[in-house]
Amino acid sequence: MKRRNMVLAVFAMVSLLALFGTQSVFAAPIKIGVAGSHTGDLASYGLPTVNAAKLVVKDINDKGGINGQKIELVIEDDQCKPELATNAAAKLVSAKVVAVIGHICSGATKAALGIYKDSKIVTISPSATNPPLTQSGEYPNFFRTIAPDDAQAKLAANFLTKTLKLKKIAVLHDKGDYGKGFAELVKQYAEENGIQVALFEGINPGAPDYSAVINKISNAKVDGVVWGGYHPEASKLVQQMKDKGMNIPFISDDGVKDNTFIEVAGKYSEGVYATGPTDTSTNPLAIKAIADHKKEFGAEPGAFFLNAYAATQALLNAIAKAGSTDYNKIVAALQSEYVDTPLGHISFDKRGDIIGFGFSVFQVQNGKYVELK
């Protein structure tokens, strides 16, 4: 009897120990994957994201982690190559990561996303801008802290319709991938908004004179001109338009939202509109993130650093708010919770695109680009 009691007591202690054991499994770190191009030609696009994730995680861990758990990063390289991205994704899945910051390039991201989707892993990219990644609805686990490629054109088209209230426009482009891509999307969205696109033409970049096409625009009696392309042609166009006495709005893209445009076009640049990424240079969190980077790594941060910083913050915030590492709860928290990041006060929409950061419309006023609110 006594002996039996002893056995029971030992059993109870062992099970108690076991309980402690499970408790310590609970306190194991939360693993977050960071995937992107860390070697090869495009390493400069991927490495700043690793640095950003490290900085944010260090901050959180110094404060005691999330819900008592520390964060641990698992870093995988994909060189921006889809075939390596699937390898990286498989490795991260077997390392049992809760979520992934990455990937960097749209193609690699797309290749890896299917694997994460099947394993229910939340993925936040700081840089993949390909529109279908969110818009196709195929990847409910995907989020991004950068505006998709078509956001700029959509913004420009809405600006034409709602702010400038134009009825009939001319759309010109430089026949290049970037300029023509922007022009085609603006045309599409403008027509959806009920604006008539009277003229859609490509012009030769570098030509000295555009007066013929300007005559054509003036003959078409449009009330606005959209330019898809870069600033050298934009400044010739605005100059030659104004010389002919045409004072209709001129709207362009972030290829023109460059101070060189104002330097070259001089007084002719006054009043020109251009869309471009929202200015974050005055955001105190952005200033702090950049200063931290300089302190920790001794250099200026690289491409997509702030986007990655915001992505990591948003993810960790969502895990904290969800109170668990459950996939559905993290997704719900990402879509409902707002968080203050270097990019601003952000959240995500149902498709996974960022809310609160993206493109803004700027106008040249007194020789400077001013963000229009």
Partner 1 sequence: MEYFLKLFLSGTAKGSIYALIALGYTMVYGIIQLINFAHGEIYMIGGFTALIFGGFFFSKGMPVGFVLLFSVLLSIIYAAAFGYTIEKIAYRPLRGKPRLSALISAIGVSMVLQNFVLLAQTEKFLSFPSYLPEFKWLQPYKEYINSTQLIILGVTAVIMVLLTFLIKFTRMGKAMRATAQDMHMAQLVGVDINQVISVTFILGSALAAIGGVLICSYMGQINYYIGFIAGIKAFVAAVLGGIGSIPGAVLGSFVLGWTESLGTGYISSDYEDAFAFIILIVILLIKPEGILGRTQRQKV
Binding residues for partner 1, rule: CB under 8 A, are 175, 201-204, 206-209, 211-216, 218-219, 231-232, 235-236, 239, 243-245, 260, 263-266, 268
Residue 242 CA to its chain's centroid (Å): 36
Least distance between partner 1 and beta carbon 237 (Å): 11
Report the residue number, 107 or 202, with the smaller CB distance to partner 1.
202
Report the residue number, 40 or 205, with the smaller CB distance to partner 1.
205
Least distance between partner 1 and beta carbon 366 (Å): 17
For residue 94, give Cα distances in angstroms to 88, 275, 319, 329.
10, 43, 20, 21
Least distance between partner 1 and beta carbon 65 (Å): 49
Report the residue number, 34 or 214, with the smaller CB distance to partner 1.
214
Report the residue number, 175 or 329, with the smaller CB distance to partner 1.
175
Report the residue number, 245 or 298, with the smaller CB distance to partner 1.
245
Least distance between partner 1 and beta carbon 257 (Å): 15
Least distance between partner 1 and beta carbon 328 (Å): 51
Q: What share of the chain is helix, strand, coil (3-state, %, to 5)?
A: 50, 20, 30
Least distance between partner 1 and beta carbon 206 (Å): 4
Report the residue number, 108 or 234, with the smaller CB distance to partner 1.
234
Report the residue number, 58 or 216, with the smaller CB distance to partner 1.
216
CA angle 20, 22, 25 (to 5 degrees): 115
How many other C-beta atoms can be found within 10 angstroms of the C-beta atom of residue 88?
28
Phi, psi (5° rounding) for residue 228? -105, 110
Report the residue number, 97 or 225, with the smaller CB distance to partner 1.
225
| Distance between CA atoms of residues 284 and 262, nearest Å | 27
| Distance between CA atoms of residues 60 and 66, nearest Å | 7
DSSP state of 39: S
Q: Look-up: residue for tokens 């879509």?
A: 335
CA angle 291, 294, 296 (to 5 degrees): 110
Residues 144 and 354: beta-carbon distance below 8 Å: yes
DSSP state of 267: G
Least distance between partner 1 and beta carbon 208 (Å): 5
| Distance between CA atoms of residues 82 and 114, nearest Å | 12
Least distance between partner 1 and beta carbon 41 (Å): 22
Q: For the chain, how far is it from start to end, CA to CA, in angstroms?
A: 82
The kind and range of the H/E element at 169 are strand 168-173
In 3D space, the residue among 80, 9, 24, 25 whose CA is nearest the CA of residue 49 turns out to be: 80
Least distance between partner 1 and beta carbon 202 (Å): 5
Report the residue number, 258 or 326, with the smaller CB distance to partner 1.
258
Burial zone of 147 (CB within 10 Å; 0-12 exposed, 13-18 middle, 19+ buried): buried
